[in-house]
Amino acid sequence: MFYIYKTSCISPQSSYGSPALSELVASAGNKLMAQEPVYSGIPPGILRRMGKAVRIGIGAALPLIADKQETQGIIIGTANGGMEDCIKFLNQIIEYDEGKLTPTNFVQSTPNAIAGQLGLMQSNKGYNITHSNRGLSFENALMDVDMLLAENKNAKYLVGAVDEISAYNFRIEWLGGWYKSEDSSNLNLFENESDGSIAGEGAAMFLAGNEKQGSICRLTDIHFFQTDSAGVVKEALTKFLAKHLPSGKSPDLFMSGENGDRRMQKYYEACTGSLAANTPVLSFKQMCGEYPTASSFGAWAACEILRTQEIPMHMLRTSSSTSNTPISSIFIYNTYKGNQHSFMLLEK
Amino acid sequence: MRIFVTGIGIISALGNNAQQNRSSLSSGKSGISSLEMLSSRYASIMPFGEVKISTDDLIKKMDARESGVTRTDLLALHAFNEAVNNSRLTPAQLSDPNTALIGASTVGGMCLTDELFLDSTSREVGSPYLSSYDCASPVMYLQKRFSIGGVINSINTACSSSANAIMYGARLIKQGKAKRAIVGGTDSLAKFTINGFNSLLILSDAPCQPFDEARRGLNLGEGAAFLVLEAEEDVKDKNCYAELTGYSNTNDAFHPSSLSDNGDGPFLSMQGALRTAGLETSQIDFINAHGTGTENNDLVESRAMINLFTTPPPFVSTKAYTGHTLGAAGAIEAVFSIFSLVNDEIYPAVNFEHAIADTGLVPAKKFEKKRISHVMSNSFGFGGNCTSLILSKV
């Protein structure tokens, strides 16, 4: 359990700086691309060499680390890091038949380049790590911070997640059947009952610590696991909620990671079936698209809802009215490809 | 809470199991040779630390016939099997929610450089490897094969990845998030990394010479190692190889691909590991240095050792034996550190002739039997990621 004080997010929506989430920005070509801000805090010479994942990761983190003394470590989750740089380097290998190559793409392609660059820019010599466990990279980053804060009570940490769309990983995931083969839009993501989702990307960053004062909310618990079985998800959910909520009580909101892929629906239905029938269900993948660390966008959006007490209409998946009672708890369930699953409970 | 190592497994250019690796180290026999299993234009120009079993033979040997399995996965499986058998973990224990698996890899399925190129650019129908390329793939493969039930993670901090996997596993146990953790790393040789390190002009065309004035760069290697970590109260009658007493993760915060002149990151990680272990510098009997054989690393690491220890204890870089195995290096070298503790011996530097003029540090030059109580193992990587571990005699 820990508290979140500040958040920052670069995503396909207007999420950076002063977020404006009521209007849903539309996708193009089955992709939701990040809206990148002007990166005034990054020296131009460094900015030019950065690939997109590094750029949006650093850009999202900058507002949280303006004060150099504030964080004792940097914990990033990313499944792929700089995928574009990775394949650009691969192209060089093939094109020049392993001849003389330039190293920039190689250095930028390592997933730890984001956390490393943040450490460098912040002169932060503390704990620095990159978790790359595909669809549970962000979740492991959160668990790491939870452990760090138990080990170092007075510390604060920067934790977040980044992944990018590149032409190459889009193609690989598309070949794998994870993106819709028909032309689709996020504006009606849940209406087409077909396989696959639409691609997304983004960077979400959080400042975390043990002090309650000055916090937006707390991450009460996180739990993640591997299974193909919706029954196992249902069982784990019951256990998770029983641990944190009074018997029979459901969280104020259920934020679902459903992504328009009909094969994933059984997992989300296992969750809605276990919550009180009138629990409002929200979705977030129409905003950020599907990517391995999309749950970090979900967590960011949950923090925004707890902070502002406002729910963008396009997020509501159920007609159940969100009455005027304050929103104090949000439960997030997400699955990546139906075999990696995570629960997060955020509370005011 | 004390954390013990109850199982070890390793495969490297020095051999296919713990016994073969130790035997090569004891006789000062390097595994650096010319490339036979991978085709690359550098195969005949540069030496490598290659595991001399073909991918097909690894598949047959372990009956690993799942679709999309890569050499990186297979090396991991080989070391994992040895570690798990060594610790006598049962299938029921593997699938228990209290068993964590924390791995590390920097190459993952990118060892199939040409397959990845085709899948990501031009193929109309994907290869069987579509979900095998990322660096989580080896861990995901092991999780699925053995239905491992607890926390699963892959860490990527470049060349210090598996040292961080070991540290993460120990912290999970200490905080009650696991009872046991199988921790380690794997990487196989790949055109991707060969060309990457070559583009940085840090590959040597001769067997590498860590800490030598005339060092000309590193040799890449491949391999995997896993350790089984368990809490003191769960060890019962098991054989304990070592205690993991110290660990620390820091950042050098200087440059994306080289270390600062004074080695702040390395200094702080070594100092932090001593602090976690509650040890004085004088109590470290041996250091398994990062020692890549590059101009930058060896000079900076030497300076950091001098700054911390004044007169450093005997040290060696075993990368002159295995090559730099990247994401596997931290785990492989933790296993070598355990060999020193269990057998009270230190292994000699190979290819070393002349000390670096600026520091005058001379690594251990001959095989020696002596009492070893605490070994420090260093791993430093791109992105300024530095991690030091301390393993102690039980």
Picking from A50, A49, A30, the residue whose alpha carbon sits closest to that of residue A290 is A30
Q: Which of A243-257, B180-194, B376-390 has the lowest mean pLDDT?
A: A243-257
Q: Minimal Cα–Cα distance from B315 to chain A, Å?
A: 25
Q: Which of A48, A95, A128 to mutate to test the interface with B (most CBs of B within 10 A)?
A: A128
State the pLDDT confidence band at B89, using cuts at 50, 70 and 90. very high
Q: What ipTM did this prediction achieve?
A: 0.97
Q: What is the mean pLDDT of residues A95-119?
A: 90
**Three-point CA angle A249, A254, A256, nearest 5°:** 150
- Cβ distance B269 to B390 under 8 Å? no
Same fold, B3-235 and B245-392: yes
Per-residue pLDDT reduced to its tens digit, A54-91: 999 999 999 998 776 679 999 999 999 988 888 889 88
Q: With 0-12 CB in 10 A as exposed, 13-18 as middle and 19+ as buried, what is B280?
A: exposed
Beta-bridge partner residues of B249: B387
Rg of the Cα trace of chain B?
19
Nearest alpha carbon to residue B72 among B23, B147, B149, B134: B134
Contact state of A112 with B130 under an 8 Å Cβ cutoff: no
What is residue A88's predicted lDDT score, i.e. its pLDDT?
87
Are A144 and B106 in contact (CB < 8 Å)? no
Q: Of A36, A26, A289, which is closest to residue A165 (Cα–Cα)?
A: A289
pLDDT at A204 over 90: yes
Contact B155 A97 (CB under 8 A): no
Mutation for testing the A interface, residue in B42, B142, B154 having most A CBs under 10 Å: B154
C-alpha span between B193 and B275 (Å, rounded): 35
What is the number of other CB atoms lying within 10 angstroms of the CB of residue A206? 31
Looking at the domain that runs over B245-392, which CATH code has it been given? 3.40.47.10
Residue B117, pLDDT above cutoff 90: no
Residue A114 · residue A76 · CB < 8 Å:
yes
**Mean of pLDDT values over A223-234:** 97
Q: What is the mean pLDDT of residues A189-218?
A: 95
For residue A171, which residues of chain B lie inside 8 Å, CB to CB?
Answer: 119-121
* Nearest-CB residue to A133 (from B121, B154, B264): B154
From A110's Cα to the closest Cα of chain B, the distance in A is: 7
Q: How many CA atoms within 13 Å lie on the side-chain side of A163?
A: 30
**In this predicted model, what pLDDT tens digit does every residue of A112-134 receive, in sequence order?**
999 999 999 889 999 999 999 99
Please report the pLDDT score of residue A49 as a whole number.
87
pLDDT at residue B144 greater than cutoff 80: yes
List, by residue range, all CATH 3.40.47.10 domains of chain A.
2-209, 217-347
pLDDT at B21: 98
Are A110 and B383 in contact (CB < 8 Å)? yes
Cβ proximity of B368 and B386 under 8 Å: no
The DSSP letter of residue B175 is T
Instruction: Please tell me the distance from the alpha carbon of residue B165 to that of residue B224, in angstroms, as a whole number.
Output: 13
CATH fit for domain A217-347, picks 3.30.70.2860, 3.40.640.10, 3.40.50.620, 3.40.47.10: 3.40.47.10
Residues 6+ away with beta carbon under 8 Å from B309: B281, B284
**Residue among B246, B227, B269 nearest B389 (CA):** B246
pLDDT digits (tens, 9 = 90+) for B16-64: 999 999 999 999 999 999 999 998 999 989 999 999 999 999 999 999 9
C-alpha closest to that of A81 among A46, A118, A44: A118
B311-335 tens-digit pLDDT: 999 999 999 999 999 999 999 999 9
Q: Is the confidence at residue B375, as pLDDT, over 90? A: yes
Alpha helices in A219-293, H assignment, sequence order: 230-244, 265-272, 285-288
Q: Is A152 on the interface with B (CB under 8 A)?
A: no
Q: Which long-range contacts (CB under 8 A, 24 or more apart) does A273-279 make?
A: A273/A234, A274/A234, A274/A237, A274/A238, A274/A241, A275/A241, A275/A250, A275/A251, A275/A331, A276/A248, A276/A249, A276/A250, A278/A320, A279/A250, A279/A251, A279/A252, A279/A253, A279/A254, A279/A320
Least confident of A46-60, A142-156, B311-325: A46-60
Segments in chain A forming alpha helices (H): 44-49, 52-61, 83-95, 104-109, 113-122, 137-151, 167-175, 230-244, 265-272, 285-288, 294-308
How far apart, in whole angstroms, are the C-alpha atoms of residue B323 and residue B32? 7
Give the tens place of pLDDT for each residue, A304-324. 999 999 999 999 998 766 567
B326: which residues sit within 8 A by CB, 6+ positions away? B106, B107, B158, B159, B161, B187, B193, B220
Residue whose C-alpha is closest to residue B291's, from B191, B359, B369: B359
Which position has the token pair 């400042």? A207
Nearest CA in chain A to B326: A110
Domain residue ranges of chain B, discontinuous segments joined by + = 3-235, 245-392
A34 in B contact zone (CB under 8 Å): no
Backbone angles phi, psi at B381, to 5 degrees: -140, 170
Per the CB < 8 Å rule, is B257 touching A107?
A: yes
Q: Within the 321-340 window of chain A, which residues sit less than 8 Å (CB to CB) from chain B?
A: none
CB neighbours of residue A295 within 10 Å: 33
DSSP state of A25: P
pLDDT value of residue A323: 64
Sign of CA dihedral B34, B37, B42, B44: positive
Taking a C-beta distance cutoff of 8 angstroms, is the pair B245, B277 a contact?
yes
Contact A98 B195 (CB under 8 A): yes
Residue B338 scores a pLDDT above 90: yes
Evaluate whether A284 touches A315 at the Cβ level (below 8 Å): yes
DSSP B4: E
pLDDT at A320: 63
Distance in angstroms (rounded) separating the CA atoms of residues B204 and B212? 13
Q: Answer yes or no: do A133 and B153 touch at CB < 8 A.
A: yes
Mean confidence (pLDDT) of chain B:
96
Beta-carbon contacts below 8 Å between A and B: 184
Structure tokens at B116: 């990845």
Give B359 to chain A, closest Cα distance, Å. 24
First to last CA, chain B: 14
Structure token digits, residue A27: 């996708």
**Domain A2-209 of CATH type 3.30.465.10:** no
Distances (CA, A) of B10 to B76, B83, B322: 9, 8, 12
Please give the average per-residue pLDDT across A278-307, as a whole number. 97
- Candidates B381, B327, B384, B373; CA nearest to B346 is B373
Check A110 against B106: CB less than 8 A apart: yes
Which residues on chain B are in Cβ contact (under 8 Å) with A141?
none
pLDDT score recorded for residue B7: 98
Across the interface, do B133 and A176 touch by the CB < 8 Å criterion? no
Q: Rounded to a whole number, what is the distance in Å from the CA of B347 to chain A's nearest CA?
A: 31
Best of B155, B168, B198, B268 to disrupt the A interface (most A CBs within 10 Å) is: B155
Pairwise CA distance, residues B93 & B287, whole Å: 34
Radius of gyration (C-alpha) of chain A in whole angstroms:
19
Instruction: Say if the Cβ atoms of A133 and B136 lie within 8 Å.
Output: yes
Domain B3-235 class in CATH: alpha beta
Q: Which residues pair with B248 in a beta bridge?
A: B388
Residue type, A122: Q
Write out the two tokens for A265: 């629906």
Q: How does A141-154 read in b/e, with b if 16+ C-beta sit within 10 Å? A: bbbbbbbbbeebee
CA dist B161 and B156 (Å) reads: 5
Which residues lie across from B250 on neighbouring strands?
Answer: B386
Could you tell me if A283 lies within 8 Å of chain B, comparing CB atoms? no
Contact in structure between B384 and A114 (CB atoms under 8 Å): no
Cβ–Cβ contact A165 with B under 8 A: no
